[in-house]
Amino acid sequence: MKIIINGISGRMGSEVARIAKEGYRGASLVCGIDPNSETYENGVPCFHSFSEAGSFNADCVIDFSHHSVTEALLEYCVDKNLPVVIATTGHDEKELEIIKRASLKIPVFFSANMSLGVALLCELAKITAKTMPDADIEIIEKHHNRKLDAPSGTALMIADAISSVRKDAYYVFGRNGQRKRDKNEIGVHAIRLGNIIGEHEVIVGTDTQTITLKHEAHTRALFAEGAVAAAAFLEGKPAGLYNMKDMIG
Ligand SMILES: NC(=O)c1ccc[n+]([C@@H]2O[C@H](COP(=O)([O-])OP(=O)(O)OC[C@H]3O[C@@H](n4cnc5c(N)ncnc54)[C@H](O)[C@@H]3O)[C@@H](O)[C@H]2O)c1
């Protein structure tokens, strides 16, 4: 499976390049896109933008870059009829709409967290929220101090999973001031420090008990492997919008 990496010079792009060079799941690297790249990186040609990149014999684009490049990324993929794995986070409404539109033409895998463990955490959080309809729910996420978006795309993904079974739920980001907690709010709290790769905790509490569900990423390789597995999953799939739930069946 031949892949193009968008954001190849970043922390995650480099990790995908590393495992592709090792042939993880039969992957091999074709080229990279990144405004900060050298002309040649990881043994393949790199371009500063999609407009500079020509056509390549590739099977999929894996995107770990910045959400502002979504339109250019998807124009390229639709034009070349290339499946794409979007692992970048922080998209605004307009960019989310562009992703949906592109998925009518090509297979698009879109997940704010490429780890199987987090997909399970979402499901467990959903079951817990449904089983304990009156419990208070708070989400705490922790990431390294270079992360741009807050709260994390994963925290929002977990909150969305919970609100799919709690119809009156709404989100409160951080909390301060003089106000009692409302029963329908889901508190979402972002912590930024040091070199934490990614931790997500869902705390579910009633007057009599507390349940804590927690996922910790130990290495970035986790997300890189998930992205390559998602690229393999897209092989031969029709146009559509796919996510981790489709992959874990
Ligand atoms: N889905 C997941 O599992 C998962 C896991 C980790 C990170 N992420 C997300 O992936 C993204 C990248 O994370 P990172 O830690 O590698 O960040 P990073 O800052 O280390 O790397 C981002 C790279 O994208 C490049 N970039 C910026 N604008 C670009 C453009 N217009 N075209 C192409 N490349 C561009 C930057 O030059 C940089 O090299 C973030 O949105 C992050 O939240 C997702």
Distance 11 CA to ligand 1 centre (A): 7
Cβ-in-10-Å burial (0-12, 13-18, 19+) of 170 comes to exposed
pLDDT in tens, the chain (249 residues): 999 999 999 999 999 999 999 999 999 999 999 999 999 998 999 999 999 998 899 999 999 999 999 999 999 999 999 999 999 999 999 999 999 999 999 999 999 899 989 999 999 999 999 999 999 999 999 999 999 999 999 999 999 999 999 999 999 999 999 999 999 999 999 999 999 999 999 999 999 999 999 999 999 999 999 999 999 999 999 999 999 989 876
Name the residue at shortest CA distance from atom 28 of ligand 1: 66
User: How many angstroms separate the CA atoms of 235 and 151, rounded?
Assistant: 32
Strands 240-242, 60-63: pairing is unpaired
Distance 66 CA to ligand 1 centre (A): 5
CB-based contact 33:53 (threshold 8 Å): yes
Tokens for 151, please give them.
């709260």
User: Token pair 């989310």 is at which residue?
Assistant: 96
Class for the domain spanning 2-114+220-248: alpha beta
Name the residue at shortest CA distance from atom 3 of ligand 1: 113
Which 8-state DSSP code applies to residue 198?
-
Decide if 142 is catalytic: no
Strands 44-47, 40-41: pairing is antiparallel
Decide if 218 is catalytic: no
Closest to 29 (Cα-Cα) out of 63, 65, 5: 5
Closest to 110 (Cα-Cα) out of 94, 127, 90, 129: 90
User: How many angstroms separate the CA atoms of 229 and 85, rounded?
Assistant: 10
SS3 193: coil
Which atom of ligand 1 is nearest to 223's Cα?
3
Cβ-in-10-Å burial (0-12, 13-18, 19+) of 12 comes to buried
Rounded (10°) angle between helices 116-131 and 153-163: 30
Name the residue at shortest CA distance from atom 2 of ligand 1: 113
CA angle 5, 106, 108 (to 5 degrees): 55
CA angle 2, 68, 160 (to 5 degrees): 90
Distance 113 CA to ligand 1 centre (A): 13
Which 8-state DSSP code applies to residue 12?
H
Closest to 248 (Cα-Cα) out of 228, 227, 233: 233
CB-based contact 114:227 (threshold 8 Å): yes
Fold of 116-216: Dihydrodipicolinate Reductase; domain 2 (3.30.360)
The dihedral through the CA atoms of 111, 194, 65, 39 has a sign that is negative
CB-based contact 80:61 (threshold 8 Å): no
Q: Which residues line ligand 1 (CB under 6 A)?
A: 6-7, 9-13, 33-36, 64-66, 69, 87-90, 111-114, 223
User: Which pLDDT value is given to residue 10?
Assistant: 96
Which entry of 143, 183, 215, 245 is annotated as an active-site residue? 143
- For the chain, the structural domain boundaries read 2-114+220-248, 116-216
Distance 76 CA to ligand 1 centre (A): 18
